[in-house]
Amino acid sequence: MRDKFLSWGIVLVLATWAVALLIRAHYWIPTLLSAIYALGVYNAYQSKHAILRNFPVLGYFRYFFESISPEMQQYFIERETDGKPFPRNQRSAVYRRAKNLSDTVAFGTQLEVNHRKYEGIKHSIYAKSPSEELPRVWVGGEQCTQPYHASLFNISAMSFGALSDRAQISLNRGAKKGNFYHNTGEGGISPYHMEGGDLCWQIGTGYFGCRDDEGKFNPELFAKYSTLPNVKMVEIKLSQGAKPGHGGVLPGVKNTPEIAAIRHVTPGMTVISPPSHTSFSDAAGLLRFVQELRELSGGKPVGFKLCIGDTKEFEDICVQMNVLKIYPDFITIDGAEGGTGAAPPEFSDGVGMPLEPALIFVNRTLNNYNLRHKLRVIASGKVLTSLDILRAVAMGADMCNNARGFMFSLGCIQALRCNSNNCPTGVATQDKMLIKGLDVTDKAERVYHFHKNTLHTCNELIAAAGRSSYEEVDATMFMRGDEFDHLADLYFPDILGNVKQKARS
């Protein structure tokens, strides 16, 4: 193709110029063809792209279709139950609830209910009327002097930088109206977090917002911000599910001078948080750091967030709690299915324990060490629907955090461009032109309605199961597809077994 383009292209260009000069008109046609041919010559002799080198000019169509492949997949190929990480039917439910529209569906389920992976709730023929009061949970142990009455469902960690200023304002205003908290993410407290909503201030390994010039923890700066009235809780981030053992990443294209000033870093550079904290290096050090932050914040609830990896390390933390008599007020468990704006695919796909087994392990371990009653467990990691929330509670969580669901409520279309600064909806970008498309007043209302309607459906599910409160939610409420296989084995004859018996006789 390369040789044909170069040989036939020059013939075509010369022929069109000859015709144009002959008739003395339409010079724009040979001019355009000459420009295309010049581009093709450049393509043929450049060395970076093999496709363009072998298919001059035509190779650009390949890159164009590749760039819009997520949209082509989503709009023309994807079915209601397809789509990763969230299928279309779940995204649609969030959009409807955020817009305060009816979230009912017609003509029955599209799920394969006889599949082993099916999971549902055992309803009761003695169903109760659902409560109109949205559930809340007290956070703050015996060493906390300012306990916080939190919602069961809250906004998980998303930094300013990862999300736009208007996205953060919308989230915070929605949290204020709905009376639930907004986790700042590890990027520090920005002016856009200060719209009146409750905050959980996350302290990551980079100590953004409370770091000195060397990047180490600064107690004075921490005390200044942690005592703000809006800050209700403080969360130490040890790891997150989408990239455990890997520091957070803020691409340089998103690191504006404003963001750099908030984080105390150099603008324009890609900011990679250290993989671990410099303020401690073992379980005892972590707990002493928890105690230090609780004292500096004036007694507010302090906990830590992690994705479970080496289970012995978590057991060691439990041992040290009993030895030092220092107890965090909460532990946030993030599953390997958690989201992120930027991470190597090997970390997103192959590191960390999924949320469900992690919750089961954490609760059993805390009970084994007689610690469960001293703190709250928060589930984070793809907890999007009401069913997800109840499943997490059944596995031992007291509360739930969610990030991507609230992004959907802001208008996110799962374009999978969070790390490119090209988010088309203005949610996960710092591009001013794209951000202008996000209307704060409208999106704040959608954040509020998504939270309210999701928890209302939780109340309806509990009532349908014949339960009166969230304290009665446990694993016995749920049924799974593999149980149906077992029932089939009991009620249908084992044909192969009969064949084996006849063969033996």
pTM recorded for the entire structure: 0.83
Q: Of 280, 287, 290, which is closest to residue 233 (Cα–Cα)? A: 290
In this prediction, residue 419 carries a pLDDT of 77
Give CA–CA dist 39/345, Å, rounded.
35
Output the pLDDT for position 86.
75
Task: Round to whole Å and give the CA distance between 384 and 410.
Answer: 14
Q: What is the dihedral of CA 192, 193, 197, 203, to 10 degrees?
A: 180
pLDDT value for 364: 96
Distance CA 245, CA 156 (A): 19
End-to-end CA distance of the chain: 71
Sequence spans of domains, the chain: 1-77, 141-376+399-467
The DSSP letter of residue 217 is B
Which segments of 135-197 are extended strands (E)? 136-139, 148-151, 153-155, 181-183
Q: Which tokens belong to 28?
A: 């724009």
| Beta pairing, strands 231-237 & 302-306 | parallel
CA distance 87 to 70: 13
Which residues 6+ apart lie within 8 Å of 142 measured at CB? 327, 374
Whether the CB-CB separation of 335 and 267 falls below 8 Å is answered with no
CB 343 within 8 A of CB 246: yes
pLDDT, one tens digit for every residue, the chain (505 residues): 788 888 888 888 889 888 888 888 888 998 999 999 899 899 888 888 888 888 889 888 887 877 777 667 766 666 666 777 777 778 888 888 899 988 777 777 777 777 777 888 899 999 999 999 999 999 999 999 999 999 999 999 999 888 999 999 999 999 999 999 999 998 899 999 999 999 999 999 999 989 988 889 999 999 999 999 999 999 999 987 766 666 667 778 778 888 888 888 888 888 777 888 999 999 999 999 999 999 999 999 999 999 998 999 999 999 999 999 999 999 999 988 777 666 677 777 677 888 999 999 999 999 999 999 999 999 998 899 999 999 999 999 999 999 989 999 998 888 777 878 888 889 988 888 899 988 999 999 999 999 999 999 999 999 999 999 999 999 889 888 777 766 666 666 665 565 556 555 5
